[in-house]
Amino acid sequence: MAALAMFILFLVLLFLGVPIAFSIGGASLFYLLIKHLPLVIMAQKFFSGINSYTLLCIPGFMLAGSLMNGGGITKRIMDFCNAFLGHIRGSLALVNVAASTLFAGISGTAIADVCSLGSMEIPAMVRDGYDDDFSVAVTATSSVIGPIIPPSVPMVIAGACVSISVGKMFQAGILVGILLSLSLCVATYIISVKRGYPKHEKTSRHGKWIAFKNAIWALIMPLLLLGGILSGVFTPTEASIVTCVYALIVGVYIYKEITWKDVPRIIWENMRSCASLIVLIGLANVFAYILTLERIPQMVATAILSLTQNRYVIILMINVLLLFVGMFMESLAAILITFPVLLPVATAIGMDPIQFGLMGILNLMIGLTTPPVGMCVCTAAQIGHVSVYRSFKANTPFLIASLVVLMLVSFVPNITLAIPRMFA
């Protein structure tokens, strides 16, 4: 009964608009009080939740993304993609997807992608003759690629939460991210041809070379990051520090779009973002401790397995549940709450934890583009001054393409496990 009361309070607080971290913390505190457990448990579990070497890479990757974004990386990536794709029908929309794919190796978060690229891409597409709702939909749905291709903040949190190798999830995310990017490009091209969206003259070899030369330092960064992790030269946590140093040098001395005077401001803004995230992780660990104490993961696993023993039906049930959660809950909080509960179910039917991790994260990222909340769609709609209803409607073809990739990830293990097995 105490656990049920905790869940009810958690949902009530969410409904009232209380921030997710304080909803989790308030519900956990309520449980400890009604069970007459020592309140020191809350402090202990909060600290143990954030006392993780792996979590150190979160502020590192976020700071690297802030430094590169402030240093002009967005414009150079856009120019590079446009030089090679500008002659294809619907070129700017394809550039939108391609830029998100490249930017994914820097930001690691979907919202950062929408805010950083969307403010430039959406007005440019509208000026070029694209429908405003289509421009918003492409920008929002392509941002989902960000947390799939490493570095990925959700992967780091998932790894720390349920003890899945972050490095192996980074490896697994490469192929999944490329597959998602290609599926969105196909949907974008079909719609662009059907609606007769514009294309431009083919860029000369010299123009391509200039665009490549200007973007070379931006393109090296994700290659440095992935190469170092895949080769074992450094861990994901060490990689975050390497990318910070690289981003600082490039932003200050090569692109020269930020100065040393800008660095304290960027660091301060990054500290504020990281602090709220760390509080969420700590309080979610208290919540997860209570779930374990009440044996909720075992109860859920038993309940699902009692309904059916069919592996494919169980995977579908997990997908539906995660998609539903992703529609309403912030993705990082959803990972912290659902992964400890659902991982035992996935492993019980023989699913590899790496595959489960990628499947779960992709589910929750798709939820960012799904009504009624759809944070990425709502953010892009605000940038493009388009109604949320029209934006969600325009996003339907891209949602279908994303779901097709999700089914492949869910039922074809080699998609997620091929690269990790190569580097095993």
The secondary structure of 48-104 as a DSSP string is HHH--SGGGHHHHHHHHHHHHHHTTHHHHHHHHHHHHHTTSTTHHHHHHHHHHHHHH
Averaged pLDDT for residues 311-339: 83
Name the amino acid, one letter, at 103.
F
Residue 113 binned pLDDT confidence (cut-offs 50, 70, 90): low
269, 232, 245, 250: which is closest to 66 by C-alpha? 269
Name, in order, each residue with C-beta under 8 angstroms of 218's C-beta and a sequence gap of 6 or more. 68, 73, 76, 77, 80, 102, 106, 250
Averaged pLDDT for residues 329-337: 77
| Model confidence pLDDT, tens digit, residues 115-170 | 666 767 788 788 878 888 998 899 888 888 878 887 777 888 888 788 888 888 88
Q: Compute the distance between CA of residue 359 and CA of residue 191 in angstroms, rounded to an integer.
A: 27
- The reply to whether the predicted model has a pTM over 0.85 is no
What counts of helices (H) and strands (E) characterise the chain?
Answer: 21, 0
pLDDT computed for residue 367 by the predictor: 84
For the ranges 80-89, 132-141, 303-312, the one whose mean pLDDT is highest: 132-141
| More confident of the two residues 274 and 390 | 390
Q: Which of 38-47, 183-192, 222-231 has the lowest mean pLDDT?
A: 222-231
Averaged pLDDT for residues 361-382: 81
User: Across the chain, what does the average pLDDT equal?
Assistant: 82
Torsion of CA 139, 266, 233, 416, to 10 degrees: -20
pLDDT computed for residue 116 by the predictor: 61
Name the amino acid, one letter, at 57.
C
Checking if the pLDDT of 381 tops 60, the result is yes
Residue 416 binned pLDDT confidence (cut-offs 50, 70, 90): very high
| More confident of the two residues 376 and 330 | 376
| Model confidence pLDDT, tens digit, residues 222-267 | 777 777 766 777 777 787 788 888 888 888 888 888 888 888 888 8
8, 48, 46: which is closest to 30 by C-alpha? 8
Q: Which of 99-113, 155-169, 227-241, 310-324 has the lowest mean pLDDT?
A: 99-113
Query: What are the boundaries of each domain within the chain?
Result: 38-422
